[in-house]
Amino acid sequence: MKRVLVLGATSAIAEATARLHALRGGALFLVARNPARLKAVADDLAVRGAGRVEAFVADLNDLSHHAELLAAAETALGGPPDVALLAYGSLGTAVVLDRDPDAAVDVLNTNLVSPVALLTLVAARLEKVGRGTIVGISSVAGDRGRGGNAVYGASKAGFTAFLSGLRARLWRGGVHVLTVKPGQVDTPMTAHMTKSRLFATPGLVARGILAAVDRQADVVYLPWFWRPILAAVRALPERIFKQLRI
């Protein structure tokens, strides 16, 4: 029975991924800040066949809770997790972020500072036992800064770089680090956006995450077609790219 720690368990992608682990009979430790929503997710996973489900309420932007929740997870799961999935984040509103430094800092704290602090502690625990997988959900937005989401893109670029460095440091010790780069996903966070054929469902992304964990991939774009799209975007000269209204 795999032990799975889900950080940001009420996000649509995290919930869909946790359901797949539940179908495999995994033991799940869920962390999120909304008690009612967290309980609903936990109850659903128990019905779906999870070997064990425990819930822990915490605001992950409060770094003082991190050590406590990881200790609680190890106690509930009977040891360090086999898989630690970090799936929380904040998109923000570009118009606000471009003009409000406090709002920009909030997004950077949620998408970069808190994840780095938390995964640093997770990495130390997994490194000690010489096994386990860390899954960090970044974004294709981190591949190149765009005028339409400069702050969000910067936060994801930083998180992608952190995961890359973590992977380079930990792989010799038996710890696998997977960077997940979803494109546009139809979730509550993107409810205000006009949907196109490029939008994926949380379930599709979740299946891609589980498959990438199983084969121990380093980086996965979900859906797959974002890899060539972003390769083309990165190849554009800056003098051309800056003129695009994206």
CA distance 105 to 162: 18
Q: Which helix (H) or strand (E) holds 71?
A: helix 66-77
Integer Cα distance of 189 and 185 in angstroms: 9
Q: Of 29, 152, 159, 162, which is the active-site residue? A: 152
**Helical axes 12-23 vs 35-47, angle rounded to 10°:** 30
3-state secondary structure of 221: strand
Question: Of the candidates 176, 93, 97, 100, which has an alpha carbon nearest to the alpha carbon of residue 134?
Answer: 176
> In this structure, which amino acid lies at residue 107?
V
Residue 94 exposure: Cα atoms within 13 Å on the Cβ side:
13
Residues in CB range of 160: below 8 A, 6 or more apart: 138, 142, 143, 179, 181
**Which of these, 33, 47, 211, lies nearest to 133 by C-alpha position?**
211
200: helix, strand or coil: strand
Q: Is 152 a catalytic residue?
A: yes
- Size (the chain), residues: 246
* Enzyme catalytic residues: 152
